Amino acid sequence: MRVGRKEFLRLSGLSLLALAGKKVVNAITSAAQANKPATRPAKRWAMVIDIKRCLQEQGCTLCINACNQVHNVPRFQDRRHEVKWIWKEAFQHVFPPDGAEYMVAELPGAPLPVFCNHCDNPPCVRVCPTQATWRREDGIVMMDWHRCIGCRYCVAGCPYGSRSFNWVDPRPHIARLTPDFPTRAKGVVEKCTLCPERLAEGRPPACVEACKPKAMVFGDLEDPASEVRGLLNTRYAIRRKPELGTRPQVYYLV
């Protein structure tokens, strides 16, 4: 059969159309698949801090000591080199005053424990160029120190000052090494990780375990029967800088 000019043009036009159609169909189906909700994370870890209970013990640093010990957090004399996972900050700095002249007398100046808020919308994760920090499905804002290149974008991005940079080799500044946990290297950022290595064994984070007055409560926000949900249902809680839209997941009971 001889294919004429007209026939040739018609055939090639039709095949091109068919090809385009297939591409469109593919694109639509794959988009539909992508839009399907990913498997919902089974859990959403969060921390609730009972301010009243925390203030019961004057000058208590049990949570800080426990964390520093299990995670090999160095201690520097020079404040410029300071590395912090959990530390105490005065109430008016944790919750900058809204101009209220009169408030509960015991609160101004009261030291509150502060650490990474494990935000639902973490700015540190958004700015990290290597995905060395990311949000796990269970809500933990995790760090992979192997991947950190020390650019410190996350330090600039975090509105809570929860991230510290290792300006010098931290190892000589650790009094007692815990061999199960690595130290960090010079040029790496570190912060609280909510102890995933302990959670994997079914244990609570080190700070929660160490807190004697049980002022720190850790649990799953998606479990309606959990202790954290119970507390949040019955008592008024505030979060740090909620107006920034980071959706922090550390709640302070007032």
Partner 1 sequence: MRDRALILTGLFVFLVLITLPIWWDAARGTTSKGPDPVLPANEKTCVAPVEYMRTSHMQLLIDWREQVVRSDIRTYKAFNGKTYRMSLTGTCMGCHADKAQFCDRCHNYAAVNVVCWDCHIDPKLARGGAEYARR
Q: What six digits make up the tokens of 88?
A: 């105490």
- Binding segment for partner 1 (CB under 8 A), chosen from 104-112, 155-163, 176-184, 214-222, is 176-184
Q: Which of 16, 149, 177, 254 binds partner 1 (CB under 8 A)?
A: 177
- Binding segment for partner 1 (CB under 8 A), chosen from 16-24, 78-86, 174-182, 228-236, is 174-182
| Nearest-5° Cα angle at 60, 201 to 100 | 110
DSSP character for 80? Answer: G
Q: Which of 137, 95, 139, 134 is nearest to 117 (CA)?
A: 139
Parallel, antiparallel, or unpaired: how do β-strands 45-50 and 216-220 relate?
Answer: antiparallel
Asked if residues 188 and 145 have their Cβ atoms less than 8 Å apart, the reply is yes
Instruction: State yes or no: residue 182 binds partner 1 (CB under 8 A).
Output: yes
> Among all chains, which residue has been given the structure tokens 């302070």?
252
Please identify, using beta-carbon distances, which residue of 95 and 145 lies nearer to partner 1.
Answer: 145
DSSP character for 48? Answer: E
- Quick note: the x/- pattern for partner 1 over 39-78, rule CB under 8 A, is ---------------------------------x------
Q: How far is the CB of 181 from partner 1 (least distance, A)?
A: 8
> Can you spell out the DSSP letters for 141-188?
EEE-TTT-----HHHHH-TT---EE-SS-SGGG-SS--TTS----TT-
CA–CA separation, 220 vs 228, rounded Å?
7
Q: How distant, in Å, are the alpha carbons of 12, 49, 87 from that of 8? A: 6, 77, 77
Please identify, using beta-carbon distances, which residue of 140 and 215 lies nearer to partner 1.
Answer: 140
- Quick note: the x/- pattern for partner 1 over 198-227, rule CB under 8 A, is --x---------------------------
Please identify, using beta-carbon distances, which residue of 193 and 249 lies nearer to partner 1.
Answer: 193
Q: Which of 133, 183, 246, 249 binds partner 1 (CB under 8 A)?
A: 183
- Quick note: the x/- pattern for partner 1 over 130-149, rule CB under 8 A, is ----x-x-----x-xxx---
| Nearest-5° Cα angle at 65, 60 to 66 | 115
Please identify, using beta-carbon distances, which residue of 51 and 83 lies nearer to partner 1.
Answer: 83
- Binding segment for partner 1 (CB under 8 A), chosen from 84-92, 113-121, 170-178, 223-231, is 170-178
Instruction: State yes or no: residue 180 binds partner 1 (CB under 8 A).
Output: yes
Q: Which residues of this protein are in contact with partner 1, per CB under 8 A? A: 72, 134, 136, 142, 144-146, 171-185, 196, 200
